[in-house]
Amino acid sequence: MDDQFWYFKRCELFEQLNDEQIRKLELQSKIKTFDRKSLVYLPDDATDSVLLVVSGRVRIYHITPEGKEALLAFIDPGELFGELTVIGQSEREEFAETMEKSQIVSIRADAIRELMAEQTEVTLGLTKLIGLRRQKFERRLKSLMFQPNRDRLIHLLLELAERYAVKHPEGIALRIRLSHQEMANLIGSTRETVTVVLGELQFEKLVAIRRRQVILKNIKALAAAINAKPPEIGFSA
């Protein structure tokens, strides 16, 4: 396998493909580098491709009728986004913007459909991806509708820990660094409210902030505070 195709193998959806299938996929793909804070696509953009992050990070968000930004997801290297085009979406419905300099591969939706016809694992993998993202969006929507700001922020910190946790002498650190405004956008709140709640959690010795990095000092107590199970993070906390 040529080294230039390594990024397909790093995507869980494509890891079972043979060399010939990956070469066919590459022939129907284009790779592009985006600077930080570049728009990858806008709502209502016509679409016929699925996108794969090779390096960097992308954020997916909506702008509400009131003009507020509502963050939906972060997309990391090896992950796909814009996948709904495979099942018939003809126009984008949200904004996709790079959070740092990023390389992104655009893969024709027809190429994905061909793979789905050839390989059951691809169909199952894409179905699982769509289902898990919808489940996450619905869970966040319920949180926005029914939970107070403090609970929403704790829920977000636990969700981020499940994905971005690294060991730290004080507990569990999040390797993604978000501003208070970005956290507010994710939980449907304000920057001022997030600042106040984080201050409360620090006073209670549940979290610590070190140079914009959030450290969860007692993840079990945080989960208990919202009657949730501690997240599965791949190592003992």
Upper half-sphere CA count for residue 92 (Cβ side, 13 Å): 22
CA distance 206 to 186: 20
> Phi and psi (nearest 5°) for 148?
-70, 165
CA distance 144 to 78: 29
The stretch 145-169 carries a mean pLDDT of 90
Q: What pLDDT score was predicted for residue 59?
A: 93
Q: Is the pLDDT of residue 220 over 90?
A: yes
CA distance 185 to 179: 10
Q: What pLDDT score was predicted for residue 4?
A: 60
Q: What pLDDT score was predicted for residue 192?
A: 96
Identify residue 142 by its one-letter amino acid code: K
pTM, two decimals, is 0.82
Q: What pLDDT score was predicted for residue 16?
A: 83
CA-CA-CA-CA dihedral for 30, 31, 36, 38, to nearest 10:
0
Burial of residue 80 (number of CB atoms within 10 Å: 0-12, 13-18, 19+) = buried
The stretch 183-212 carries a mean pLDDT of 92
Q: Is the pLDDT of residue 103 over 80?
A: yes
CA distance 181 to 159: 17
Q: What pLDDT score was predicted for residue 71?
A: 82
CA distances 211 to 161, 167, 199, 215, Å, are 17, 16, 14, 10
Host H or E run for residue 216: strand 213-216
